[in-house]
Structure 1
Amino acid sequence: MKHDRESTLHPADVSYEALRLAPREWVPNNSRLPVLIYRRALDPSTKDLGKAFEALFTRNEWPPQWRDSIFDYHHFHSTAHEALAVISGKGNVIIGGPGGDVISFEAGDVVLLPAGTGHCLQSTEGRFQVVGAYPEGQQWDIRRDALSKEEIAAMEALPFPRSDPVSGSEGPLLDQWK
């Protein structure tokens, strides 16, 4: 699988990585838009980290919709981009579909998954819990199968979010998602 990683610092001084993925098996991934991984987007010792991430996402026009873990089977969302903020524990998540990259996340981290990006929880340490959020106006689905040409076209036509879920109007999403 061909992918490139780069690491940098965005204006709010939160470290992030950009991960570009090619399609893999039945998972389309998103060759135009990289996965963005924000390390320590919020201090993990923050009191009620879940509530803090929900407030951050709401302020940045990514309404939070649920709190739970990540499904332990390979899946992707074709109708929405997804931001996942880790609010407790540690987890290893396979990004990119079966045979994809295993990325470790811990409390305070956020992963931004463009529509079509495969993900699956591989293992956890402690109570691994995340907050899931989506851009205003986008409703997520759960896909475990290949998309038709029409569905791929609809996925690729999804509008870009107006703001970065972590940094608002100055975040890496606005630089990386062009």
Structure 2
Amino acid sequence: MESKAEIYNFTDDGTIPNSKYPVIVYHTRLDLEDKTAADFLENRFAENGWSNAFRWRVYDFHHYHTNTHEVLGVYAGNAILQLGGPEGEKLEVHPGDVIILPAGTGHISLRHTEDFAVVGAYPGGEEPDLIKLSDQRPEGVCEKVDGIPVPENDPYFGSGPDGLLQSWTERENRAK
């Protein structure tokens, strides 16, 4: 299974806190479709300790989670997502793409095909909170999101040297 990773760094824009950790996007090629692809992604995430999965879309309003990281695996359709807040990066996603969002990272679906769907999951099965751009910014939010620990495993690559573990752990070590 081929994979190419992209890394996006976002900073606090005064509204969306984003994170000290980068967003990681894997562009993988899945030779599976629809339910089979969704089953594969959900199982892969669960094997690596990312659970409390859902199958749906990405909300069409800017939002973020202060208490957990999130992974989104595209299994059908395509979309234009915006990451990092209203001034953030626009990203076209397709089946097989896996987006790892550290806690505090703003995200929204700007446009999508009618069949667009993702599997989402959280490390340790955490139940995410939902902070909308229109909500009052929680006090101490940057400290809270930056205090969420690095997960034990990358949701896609597990405990191997690839993926978020190396990138996020290096960032954590530099901050100490």
Aligned: 1:29 with 2:18? yes
Aligned match of 2:166 = 175
Distance in structure 1 (CA, Å) of the matches to 2:126 and 2:147: 12
Letter in 2 for 1:167: F
Unaligned runs of 5+ in 2: 170-176
Distance in structure 1 (CA, Å) of the matches to 2:34 and 2:118: 15
Name the counterpart of 1:156. 146
Equivalent-residue separation in structure 1 for 2:145 and 2:104 (angstroms): 7
Q: CA deviation at 1:126?
A: 4.0
Which amino acid is 2:51 matched to?
P
Structure 1 residues 13-92: aligned runs within 5 Å: 13-30=2-19, 32-40=20-28, 42-45=30-33, 48-92=36-80
TM-score of the superposition, structure 1-length normalised? 0.86
Decide whether the 8 Å contact of 2:159 with 2:165 is kept in 1: yes
Moved over 3 A (4+): 41-47
Across the two proteins, how many residue pairs are aligned to each other? 165
In structure 1, stretches of 5+ residues that fail to align are 1-11
Q: 1:28 is matched by which residue type in structure 2? A: P
Q: Normalising to structure 2: TM-score of the pair?
A: 0.87
Aligned to 1:132: 120
- The DSSP-based 3-state class of the residue aligned with 2:116 is strand
For residues 20 and 63 of structure 1, what CA distance do their matches in structure 2 show?
Answer: 25
Matches within 5 A, 1:109-128: 109-128=97-116
1:44–1:137 distance in 2 versus 1, CA, 3 Å: closer
Name the SS of the counterpart of 2:63 in structure 1.
Answer: coil
Distance 2:157 2:28 in 1: 13
Match of 2:80, as an amino acid? N
Amino acid at match of 1:49: A
Q: C-alpha deviations, 1:103-154, integer Å up to 9, x for none?
A: 01011111000000000000012411001100005321100232312x3322
C-alpha contact (below 8 Å) 1:69/1:129 kept by paired residues: yes
SS of the residue corresponding to residue 155 of structure 1 reads helix
SS at 1:48 equivalent: helix
Deviation at 1:44, TM superposition (A): 4.6
**Which structure shows the bigger proportion of residues in helix conformation?**
2
Structure 1 SS opposite 2:50: coil
